[in-house]
C-alpha cells in the first residue's frame, strides 16, 4: 500500500503534531507612519455618543461622501490621536451595499486621513448611495476635498 499523500502534519515535514507554538503571540503591531514620516495614531469611533458629538461639529458634504468633524473637548482624553467613525444609512441600500460602501470609505480614509486629518479631532465619514458604485478615484477626491474644508473650519474655530 502507498504511503498517505499528506504525511505528518498536513504535509509539512518541519512541523510535527507536537510542534511548539512560536515565541511571540499575536500579530506584530503596525508602524503607523503617514507619507511625511510622522507617526499618527488613528483610532475608531464606536460609541453612539461620539457619533452624536461629531454630528454637532463642522460638516462638509459631497455627492459621494459626507464628513463631520469636531475638535475634542478639554474634559476628554488628551491624546493627540485621530479618531474616525464610518456610517451608512439604509438609504444607501441593503446590508451588502452598506458594507461595501463602508469598506470603500475605510480604504480611502486609510490613505488620506493620516495626511489631512487634524490630531485631536474626531471625524465621521458618511456613505452615500453613490459611494457603492463610484470610481475609487472619485471617492478619494471627494474625501480629500471634504477633509480640507472641515480642516479649515476646525482651524478657524
Strand residues in the chain grouped as ranges (E): 42-44, 58-61, 65-71, 82-88, 121-127
Residue 117's pLDDT is 86
Q: What is the dihedral of CA 127, 115, 146, 91, to 10 degrees?
A: 0
Residue 41's pLDDT is 74
The vertex-38 CA angle with 147 and 31, nearest 5°, equals 105
CA dist., res. 49 & res. 54, Å (int): 9
Residue 15's pLDDT is 54
Q: pTM of this prediction? A: 0.71
| Partners of residue 153 on adjacent β-strands | none
Separation in Å, CA 87 to CA 37, 62, 92, 101: 29, 15, 10, 9
Instruction: Spell out the per-residue pLDDT of the chain, length 157, in tens.
Output: 666 665 555 555 555 555 555 555 666 555 555 454 444 678 888 899 989 998 998 999 889 999 999 988 777 666 678 899 999 999 999 999 999 999 999 999 989 888 888 888 899 999 999 999 999 999 999 999 999 999 888 887 5
Residue 18's pLDDT is 55
Residue 39's pLDDT is 44
Amino acid at each position: 500500500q502507498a504511503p498517505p499523500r499528506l504525511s505528518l502534519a498536513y504535509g509539512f515535514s518541519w512541523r510535527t503534531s507536537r510542534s511548539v507554538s512560536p515565541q511571540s503571540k499575536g500579530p506584530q503591531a503596525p508602524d503607523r507612519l503617514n507619507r511625511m514620516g510622522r507617526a499618527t495614531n488613528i483610532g475608531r469611533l464606536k460609541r453612539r455618543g461620539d457619533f452624536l458629538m461629531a454630528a454637532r461639529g463642522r460638516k462638509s458634504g459631497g455627492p459621494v461622501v459626507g464628513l463631520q468633524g469636531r475638535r475634542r473637548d478639554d474634559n476628554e482624553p488628551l491624546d493627540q490621536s485621530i479618531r474616525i467613525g464610518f456610517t451608512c444609512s439604509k438609504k444607501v441600500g441593503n446590508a451588502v451595499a452598506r458594507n461595501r460602501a463602508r469598506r470603500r470609505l475605510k480604504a480611502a480614509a486609510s490613505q488620506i486621513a493620516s495626511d489631512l486629518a487634524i490630531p485631536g479631532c474626531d471625524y465621521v465619514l458618511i456613505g452615500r448611495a453613490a459611494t457603492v458604485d463610484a470610481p475609487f478615484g472619485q471617492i478619494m477626491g471627494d474625501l480629500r476635498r471634504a477633509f480640507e474644508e472641515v480642516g479649515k473650519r476646525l482651524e478657524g474655530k
